[in-house]
Amino acid sequence: MKLPPKSLVNARVTLHAATPTALADAPLAALIRACAQETAEIQGVSVPEVALFDDRIELSGVIPMPILLAIAAEVRRSTGRWHLAKHGSPLWQGE
């Protein structure tokens, strides 16, 4: 069995919502998933798995950690800015 290079280990990044049920809204969850997928596609990298929960999102995949972090950062930045403008409240913890 051939193992992936060290830079391609199974990586995971979690973003925590500002409130316990912030991501329970299905349209919002779909928007966040689409943002993660689009960011990866635009950068020409593998699309990470996106697991959505009421209070967090987990991005994972056999992707170099710096790339996965960059995708997560863009998802946080763009969806957080949109949510703040639309609802007047932060979407992610620490905003």
- pLDDT 10s digits, 65-77: 999 999 999 999 9
Residue 61 burial class via C-beta count within 10 angstroms: exposed 0-12, middle 13-18, buried 19 and up: buried
Region 1-10: what's the mean pLDDT?
60
Give domain status of residue 1, yes or no: no
Task: With respect to residue 25, please indicate whether it lies within any of the assigned structural domains.
Answer: yes
Q: Structure tokens of 84?
A: 């703040």
Q: Report yes or no on 32 lying in a domain.
A: yes
Q: What is the CATH number of the domain that holds 47?
A: 3.30.1360
Residue 36's domain comprises 7-87
Q: Is the pLDDT of residue 30 over 70?
A: yes
Do residues 11 and 47 make contact, with C-beta atoms less than 8 angstroms apart?
no
The percentage of the chain sitting over the pLDDT mark of 70, rounded to a whole number, equals: 92
Residue indicated by tokens 């994972």: 60
pLDDT at 13 over 70: yes
Confidence (pLDDT) at 6: 57
The closest of 94, 29, 39 to 69, measured between CA atoms, is: 39
Q: How far is CA 27 from its chain centroid?
A: 15
Confidence grade of residue 9 (pLDDT, cut at 50, 70, 90): confident
